[in-house]
Amino acid sequence: MPGRTLNHQLLRKLISLGLCAGGLLLVPKAMSRESVRSELTRLQKQHGLALVSVSDNKIYAIGFANRSLRESLPFPGKGTVTGGGFSEDGTKIAVELCRDPGLTHPTPNWTDCPGGLVLAIMRADGSDSHEYPYFANPGYMMCWSHDASKLALVAGPKEGRRTQKSIADPRPRH
């Protein structure tokens, strides 16, 4: 399977995250006299509001009060998590998983995933991971339903010929 450049994909994720953050920062300001930073800090203390991102096998979260970026320890398990999204309640993560041996760098400007990219769903701490190989190359667009019973995503066949919009049922199959 030919590899694909993940740098372009990471750039798209960062742009999407920036647009989301921009919307989060600009919309409340128009409706409130409270500064954006004060409001976000208050909401983070009151309700656990967090701006999070899953990338490069880690979870990144922003601390609004001290303007810090916190990163978790790498996910346990096989392969490399390249990106993903949290369920609304923060208990589950849908991720794009580069199967073992994980990401390789055949040349300085090329990142490859020889094991293939698949959808995986796990708990926020990386435990209870389930792979869904029939959703190959899940891409950067994943969105959970409010009750975390469904996941909308763009995925492609293993051959990588065409991407398609899909609705996944994240319950493990036995």
The confidence score (pLDDT) of residue 19 equals: 64
The confidence score (pLDDT) of residue 170 equals: 67
Mean of all residue pLDDT scores within the chain: 77
Q: Residue 44 is which amino acid?
A: Q
pLDDT in tens, 107-129: 888 888 888 888 888 888 778 88
On whether both 79 and 136 belong to a single domain, the answer is yes
Is the predicted pLDDT of residue 21 greater than 70, yes or no?
Answer: no
Please count the other Cβ atoms lying within 10 Å of the Cβ belonging to residue 30: 6
**Nearest alpha-carbon partner for 82 in 59, 61, 63:** 59
The answer to whether position 133 is within a domain reads yes
The answer to whether position 4 is within a domain reads no
Burial profile 158-168: b = 16 or more Cβ within 10 angstroms, e = fewer: eeeeeeeebeb
pLDDT in tens, 32-89: 588 888 888 888 888 887 788 777 788 888 888 888 888 877 776 788 888 888 888 8
Domain's final residue, options 47, 69, 91: 69
Total tally of structural domains belonging to the chain: 2
The answer to whether position 1 is within a domain reads no
The answer to whether position 82 is within a domain reads yes
Of residues 64 and 2, the one with the higher pLDDT is 64
> Rounded to an integer, what distance in angstroms lies between the CA atom of residue 34 and that of residue 64?
14
Distance (Å) of CA 103 to CA 1, 136, 148, 160: 14, 16, 29, 18
Is the predicted pLDDT of residue 174 greater than 80, yes or no?
Answer: no
On whether both 106 and 47 belong to a single domain, the answer is no
On whether both 42 and 108 belong to a single domain, the answer is no
Domain that holds residue 50: 13-69
Is the predicted pLDDT of residue 20 greater than 70, yes or no?
Answer: no
Six-digit token pair at 166?
Answer: 């899909």
On whether both 35 and 102 belong to a single domain, the answer is no
* Backbone angle region of 54, left / alpha / beta, with phi > 0 → left and psi within -120 to 50 → alpha: beta
On whether both 40 and 108 belong to a single domain, the answer is no
On whether both 89 and 144 belong to a single domain, the answer is yes
